[in-house]
Amino acid sequence: MRVLKPLWVSHDDMPIFSIDIHPDGSRFATGGQGDDSGRVVIWNMAPVVSEEKEIDENCPKMLCQMDNHQACVNSVRWSYSGKLLASGGDDKLIMVWSVARYPGGGNAVFGSKGKINVETWRCVATLRGHHGDVLDMAWSPHDTWLASCSVDNTVIIWDANKMPEIVAILKGHSGLVKGVTWDPIGKYLSSQSDDKSIRIWRTADWKQETVINEPFQECSGTTLVLRLGWSPDGQYLVSAHAMNGSGPTARIIERDGWRHGMDFVGHRQAVTCVRFNTNILQNYYKSMNKPLQACCCAIGSRDRSISVWVTALKRPLFAMENLFTRPVLDLSWSSSGLQLMACSGDGTVAYFQFTPKELGTALTMDEKNKLYERLYGKSMAGGCDTSNIAIENPELLSIKEDDSKMEEDVMCEPQKTPPAVKLPPPPPPVVVTSPLQVNKQIETRTSDGRRRITPIFIPPIPDTGDGPVPFGSDSMTFSSSSGAKSKIVVERREDVVVTPNVTTPIKQSPHKSTSSSPVAATANVSQPATTGQQSSTVVPAAVKRSDSNTQSSRKRPRFADKANCQNDAVASAQPPLPVPVPAAATKPATSGHSGALPFLNITSSNSIPVIGSKNVISVENDTLTSPHGLLTRIRLTNGADSKWEYVFGSSVCACIADTKVLCVACKDRTLHIMDTSTGGHLLPPLALPSPASRLVFSPTSSCLLCLTVCGRISVWNLNKKSNIVPSQSVAPVLGSENGVHVSQCFLTDDGIPLVALSNGRAYMFSLDMCSWMKVGDVTDPIVKNSQESYQSASKHLQGNKVLPLNRLQSFIQSRSSNRPRSFVQSFETSPPCTMSFLDQQLSACKAIKSGPEYRFWLLTSVGFFLQHGNEDKLRNICQELLGPSHSTASLTKKWDPKILDLSKHDLLKDVLKEIGARVESQRLYTEFKDQLDALSSKNGL
């Protein structure tokens, strides 16, 4: 083993909080504090590994320094492919970086006193979603998701292929979440928090699998990070800060039953970070008689020491103390498994180099996959051989004999049928180029003798983002002088003379021109003009025009009608120049679509979890080839087992399922209602006005919501096979504002559709009024100036089931940049705004029929009126809840003792508890308390 501390790896004596080695081992990244900002630095690994490279002046040590974060960087993590680097910090942001393959030379780092960036890295995505410092991140296997955790007690799952799209927000921790790690199999995500717990989350439905509390109950104090680690075989999860008796440990949690009876012991202070070697090792130990597969992990602690453990040994492979002057904060292994790096809050890093003799030989990828198949199930990709299946029904034997006889008869007859159709090979990849892109330019001369070269389109060199290139590679260039020589040829045409592009208007003859010579126009592209006989004129094909209808074509609008286009095509001798068409014009026309309704993105997922089950619906769009087109296959799977499969003739654009009903929407404007257990249709396919954009299903009421791309929304009760909401347009809620679209749809248990818009407004469709009602608006000044907010209910109703109004309003609040301003007591308009806000919430709860939320906002209103001494409002509330004998309503009006299935007298008891807590309202409390007791005794309650 070799240990060293490269002192040149430094953030100018500032703390380094995170370190990560690139998958190819050519570089590593550090994150920490910079000068008045957060800092991310990418370093060359060669000077660390080789002493010769370290003293070589031509070998750069620092590759790039990024000071874009506004506060300290707490975590840096490379993706598994090595193409992306994620950094998260105290500024609540996550930045995703990609290297620019053609930087065009080095550039100086601003304010760094001569530091030069050898590489150029650019921020390709900025992820905003956390409301507090980002403490840790982790990429999932195959770079499908990126998980991040924060002091806001949440874990956010980001879609790595559609950044900055959020897949899920995991809420459950009651303290700061300081570490996340993925199961290498991709089934679980684990997080560790200051609330003295580890939570395991399922990736199939993002629900909580289990909570582990016992090993952490005796932990006193906190650490800056709690970076836990998962073994590469997926069998063990090792926690950070845990206790066994009075000693700090790293607790080992077994995947089988989540047992936690073993520890890594020896550190004198709390464990801060755990990092497993990504390889599964195989070695021969003297105490063993045969090679043994094992995993290796490194542990860092607040006692400034590092220990490395191999699961085949009872003692650590080594332990090194006093390596740093401050706690160890992060660890990272190279992909080879023979290099380990650590960083500390003292601003230094340490490097460990091992040999295969010390750690063992890593399993190959094939051996690793075989181990996964043995532990977690055999792959069924090869299909099944049905030739040897025994026939149990005797009737099938006669059918099989008839089929055999038919085949023999066909073989004996002369060949009359055409030969078997040979399917064409799959088409080659389509390369999109400009219609004007050619490899030859044409040089002509104008009438005044000047040269004119026809401009052509030269596409920019794409920045593919294939990841960093190792040093010494021929493809790494730092100067534009090394580019390839241009292959464009300039052809000189002396027989063509072009009139110069001048602004002088051309006088046109009042009579219709009968000349066949082209007319020069004052346009951006000059038209060729002839000087001499028409027969001797040669016009380049790239600029040639038909002579007929030249004058009218100059007056034609940009988008001509279909008839004119057909006439032009007949009259033109050469095809016209292609006219670029805006993307909006190329969208397919859909029934009922208007200019005010934006096109909603049709999205589909390859794996859709079945609600209430561990099964998954696998969607494979356009994967099966047939003589009549591509087919789409869906399957119900449970791990590697496939229970049934079904094929469609059109691509699937939306899918949702529970244990009973499967709903599949296809791009051919059909909606299929199927049985989840058998895969059979429960109803014939429903015809939609346009392809579905979103499907929402309520398992409790079996109600299905469908939103189409043309902006029509429908709700059905699948149990009763009836329609709840007919095809309704969302145009009234979108309005005329540009760029507004539906961000999310929800469905209540009663089948009431709720929609959240991108502009921060939320609406519900009233079945009674047959109209849309606004139930949320974060842009409303009433909401901004109110003392209460949409999040008020979230803090007090966490124990209840998911409540529709709170879910809808929390969604629009989290997606909007218009955050409610903090309450200022001296702000004179705040009390009336709060009163209006509370009244709106109560009316929304009634319309949406949410009893628990109505109770919460009613008690919140009572508290507000008590705070401001509004006795009249309090009296009206109490009288309405008490009953008709003391109500202000007409005696002829029947009084309902319940509201939203809640007893009004029970609500009055809760209201009186709030009133009785204040001495100044004791008279009001006594008045209605006596009357309520009298009514209760009268009714025998």
pLDDT higher than 60, residue 888? no
From the CB of residue 559, how many other CB atoms can be counted at a distance below 10 Å? 10
**The pLDDT of residue 463:** 46
pLDDT higher than 90, residue 136? yes
Which neighbouring-strand residues pair with 309?
297
Per residue in 354-406, pLDDT (tens digit) is 998 888 888 888 888 888 888 886 432 233 333 333 443 444 344 444 544 44
Q: Could you give the C-alpha distances from 17 to 42, 298, 879, in angstroms and in order?
A: 14, 17, 61
Could you tell me if 260 and 215 are in contact, meaning their C-beta atoms sit under 8 angstroms apart? Answer: yes
Per residue in 249-259, pLDDT (tens digit) is 999 999 988 99
DSSP class of 14: B
Considering only CA atoms, which of 600, 843, 587, 599 is closest in space to residue 744? 600
Pick from 62-76, 510-524, 590-604, 632-646 the range whose average pLDDT is largest.
62-76
Residue of higher predicted confidence among 653 and 798: 653
pTM above 0.85, yes or no: no
Q: Calculate mean pLDDT across residues 287-301.
A: 80
Q: How far apart are CA 508 and CA 272, in angstroms?
A: 85
pLDDT higher than 80, residue 76? yes
Q: How far apart are CA 610 and CA 620, in angstroms?
A: 16
Q: How far apart are CA 273 and CA 19, in angstroms?
A: 12
pLDDT higher than 50, residue 567? no
pLDDT higher than 50, residue 666? yes
pLDDT higher than 70, residue 426? no
Confidence label for 729 from pLDDT (cuts 50, 70 and 90): very high
User: What average pLDDT does the chain have?
Assistant: 76
Residue of higher predicted confidence among 457 and 218: 218
pLDDT higher than 60, residue 263? yes
Confidence label for 937 from pLDDT (cuts 50, 70 and 90): confident
Per residue in 677-721, pLDDT (tens digit) is 999 999 999 999 999 989 999 888 899 999 999 899 999 999 999
**The pLDDT of residue 308:** 94
Residue 788 Cα to chain centre, angstroms? 31
pLDDT higher than 70, residue 569? no
pLDDT higher than 80, residue 490? no
pLDDT higher than 50, residue 230? yes
Q: Is 864 helix (H, G, I), strand (E, B) or coil?
A: helix
pLDDT higher than 50, residue 528? no
Q: Calculate mean pLDDT across residues 615-622.
A: 90
User: Position of tokens 């705004």?
Assistant: 833
Per residue in 833-849, pLDDT (tens digit) is 889 999 999 999 999 99
**The pLDDT of residue 909:** 92
Pick from 368-377, 402-411, 818-827 the range whose average pLDDT is largest.
368-377
Q: How far apart are CA 465 and CA 125, in angstroms?
A: 13
Handedness of CA 89, 93, 99, 104 (dihedral sign): negative
Q: How far apart are CA 797 and CA 856, in angstroms?
A: 8
Q: Crossing angle for the helix pair 871-882 and 904-916, nearest 10 degrees? A: 150
Could you tell me if 177 and 191 are in contact, meaning their C-beta atoms sit under 8 angstroms apart? Answer: yes
Beta strand extents in 709-759 (DSSP E only): 712-717, 722-729, 742-747, 753-757
Q: Is 547 helix (H, G, I), strand (E, B) or coil?
A: coil
Residue of higher predicted confidence among 640 and 512: 640
Per residue in 1-56, pLDDT (tens digit) is 899 999 999 998 899 999 999 999 999 999 999 888 899 999 999 999 998 999 88
**The pLDDT of residue 701:** 87
Q: How far apart are CA 716 and CA 726, in angstroms?
A: 8
**The pLDDT of residue 28:** 96
Of 171-180, 245-254, 513-522, which gets the smallest average pLDDT? 513-522
**The pLDDT of residue 492:** 60
**The pLDDT of residue 507:** 41
Pick from 179-183, 360-364, 617-621, 626-630 the range whose average pLDDT is largest.
179-183
Could you tell me if 261 and 248 are in contact, meaning their C-beta atoms sit under 8 angstroms apart? Answer: no
Confidence label for 439 from pLDDT (cuts 50, 70 and 90): low
Q: How many residues does the chain have?
A: 941
pLDDT higher than 50, residue 825? no
DSSP class of 265: E
Could you tell me if 257 and 239 are in contact, meaning their C-beta atoms sit under 8 angstroms apart? Answer: no
Q: How far apart are CA 877 and CA 886, in angstroms?
A: 11
Residue of higher predicted confidence among 312 and 913: 913
Of 197-206, 451-460, 924-933, which gets the smallest average pLDDT? 451-460
Q: Calculate mean pLDDT across residues 94-112.
A: 70
Which neighbouring-strand residues pair with 518?
none
Q: How far apart are CA 249 and CA 576, in angstroms?
A: 76
Count Cβ neighbours within 10 Å for each residue of 395-421 and write b for 16 or more, e otherwise.
Answer: eeeeeeeeeeeeeeeeeeeeeeeeeee
Q: How far apart are CA 941 and CA 819, in angstroms?
A: 47
**The pLDDT of residue 370:** 85
Q: How far apart are CA 128 and CA 165, in angstroms?
A: 10
Residue of higher predicted confidence among 568 and 136: 136
**The pLDDT of residue 484:** 41
Q: Calculate mean pLDDT across residues 131-135.
A: 94
Confidence label for 247 from pLDDT (cuts 50, 70 and 90): confident
Helix (H) or strand (E) holding 914: helix 904-916
Q: How far apart are CA 225 and CA 135, in angstroms?
A: 7
Q: What percent of the chain has pLDDT over 90?
A: 43
Q: How far apart are CA 528 and CA 499, in angstroms?
A: 7
Q: Calculate mean pLDDT across residues 810-821.
A: 66
**The pLDDT of residue 65:** 92
DSSP string, 606-657: SEEEPBTSS-EEEEEEEEEEETTEEEEEEEEEETTEEEEEEEESS-EEEEEE
pLDDT higher than 50, residue 430? no
Q: How far apart are CA 605 and CA 695, in angstroms?
A: 13
pLDDT higher than 70, residue 755? yes
Considering only CA atoms, which of 353, 265, 301, 366 is closest in space to residue 4? 353
**Residues contacting 593, CB < 8 A, separation 6+:** 599, 690, 709, 710, 711
**The pLDDT of residue 893:** 56
Q: How far apart are CA 95 and CA 118, in angstroms?
A: 20
Considering only CA atoms, which of 533, 467, 470, 523 is closest in space to residue 499? 523
Q: Calculate mean pLDDT across residues 867-889.
A: 79
Q: How far apart are CA 333 and CA 341, in angstroms?
A: 7
Helix (H) or strand (E) holding 284: none
pLDDT higher than 90, residue 646? yes
Considering only CA atoms, which of 171, 304, 302 is closest in space to residue 225? 302
**The pLDDT of residue 814:** 79
**The pLDDT of residue 920:** 81
pLDDT higher than 60, residue 150? yes
Q: Which long-range contacts (CB under 8 A, 24 or more apart) does 481-489 make?
A: 487/439, 488/439, 488/440, 488/441, 488/456, 488/458, 489/439, 489/440, 489/441
**The pLDDT of residue 938:** 73
Q: What percent of the chain has pLDDT over 70?
A: 70
Q: How far apart are CA 496 and CA 688, in angstroms?
A: 58
